[in-house]
Amino acid sequence: MDPAEVEFLAEKEMVKIIPNFSLDKIYLIGGDLGPFNPGLPVEVPVWLALNLKQRQKCRIVPLEWMDIDRLEEIREQERKLDAFTPIPSPYYMELTKLLLNHAADNIPKADEIRTLVKDIWDTRVAKLRLSADSFISQQEAHAQLDNLTLMEINTTRSFLLDSLNYMYKLRSNLQPGRSQDY
């Protein structure tokens, strides 16, 4: 799974937009959207929101966790605790990236939010690496990882699994008698 795919999944998250056009309900396989009334907030998936935004058909209402205070609190929490803290959205990184790249003008203090989310991300990924390291060095059989988002798992999966495989191979090679099998 590459990041683009995760991002694709994130695009089905709902976000509120304020359309500047009028349209009746639209009936899609995934469900009905709308009706769109100019000036009235309506929930749509991110993909549609971004599409409309790019066509200047709407303003995006920032997600309720896209708030400096809230994110700062999460960051502090994240730095304080050893375990992963719960994150307001399972796609926080992707959504931040998508919304801030395409609709930075609708989100107050976009730059600060970007920095904060990046901080949170870095902290979490560092934690993840650290725990992977200790997992391997202590030769544990299993580890519990709560509150990880898909993107985070994704970043470490291929590397971790591959390295575990190699290590398994190497270790099994070390065992006398088995080495001849290869």
Partner 1 sequence: MPCERKPMRYGHSEGHTDVCFDDEGKCIVTCGSDGDVRIWESLDDDDPKSINVGEKVYSAALKNGKLVTAVSNNTVQIHTFPEGDPDGILTRFTTNANHVTFNSSGSRVAVGSSDFIVKIVEVVDSSQQKTLRGHDAPVLSVALDPSDEFLASSSCDGSVTVWSIESQTQVAQWKILQKSSDVSNAKSLCRLAWQPRSGKLLAIPVDLTIQLYDRNTWTHVSTLSDDLITQVVNVVVWSPCGKFLAAGTVGGNLLIWDVEAKLCIERQKHEKGFTVCGMAWHPSGGRIAYTDTEGCLGLLEGVSSSSPSSSSTIQSKATASKETNDYDDLFDEDDDRMLDEGMSDSRSPVKKPIMEDDDDDDDLMPATGRPRNRGSFLDDDDNSQDPGSVKLDGVPEEDGSSAILPAVVPAVSRPVYDGPKPTQPQRAFQPGSTPMHLMHRFMMWNSVGIVRGYNDDQDNAIDVEFHDTAIHHAMHLTNTLGHTMADLSQEAVLLACEGTDELASKIQCLHFSCWDTHKDWIVDLPKGEDVRALCLGQGWAAVATSALMVRLFSIGGVQKEIFSLPGAVVCLAGHGEQLLIVYHRGTGFDGDQALGVQLLQLGRRRRQVMHGEPLPLSRKSYLAWMGFTAEGTPCCIDSEGVVRILNRTLGNTWTPVCNTRESCKSKSDHYWVVGVHENPQQLRCIPCKGSRFPPTLPRPAVAVLPFNLPYCQTTTEKGQMEEEYWRSMLFHNHYGFLSSSGYEIDSEGQSQAEKEQQELLMKMFALSCKLEREFRCVELAEMMTHSVVTLAIRYASRSRRMALAQRLSELALEKANQLQEEEEEEEEEPAYQRHTSREYRGSNQMSSRQAQVENGCEEEEEDYPQEEQMDAEESTETRKPSLNPFKKGAKSPERPSPKPVSKEGRVNPFKVSGAGKSSSSPAGQPRTTNVLDSMTMSSRKPTPLGGTSKQGKAPILKPLAPKPKSKTQATLLQMSASKGSSKKLEDSQLEAEKVKPAPAATPPASMENIENRKPKTGFQLWLEENRKSILADNPDFEEMDVIKEGMGRFRTLTAEERLNWTERAKGDSDPKKRKREDEGQADEQMETDEGSAKKKKPLDTSAKLSAFAFNKE
H/E run at residue 17 = strand 14-19
* Residue 108 in contact with partner 1, rule: CB under 8 A: yes
What residues numbered 7-66 form the site for partner 1, per CB under 8 A? Answer: 16, 18, 20-22, 37-41, 56-57, 59, 61
Spatial CB neighbours of 171, under 8 Å, sequence gap ≥ 6: none
Q: Are 10 and 50 in contact (CB under 8 A)?
A: no
What residues numbered 67-86 form the site for partner 1, per CB under 8 A? Answer: none
Largest CA distance in the chain: 75
State the minimum distance, in angstroms, from the CB of residue 7 to partner 1. 26
State the minimum distance, in angstroms, from the CB of residue 9 to partner 1. 27
* Residue 93 in contact with partner 1, rule: CB under 8 A: no
State the minimum distance, in angstroms, from the CB of residue 54 to partner 1. 14
Length of the chain counted residue by residue: 182
Select 20 or 172, whichever has its Cβ closest to partner 1: 20
Phi-psi sector, 16: left (phi>0), alpha (psi -120 to 50), beta: beta
Residues in contact with partner 1, total (CB under 8 A)? 15
**Where do contacts with partner 1 occur on this chain (CB under 8 A)?**
16, 18, 20-22, 37-41, 56-57, 59, 61, 108
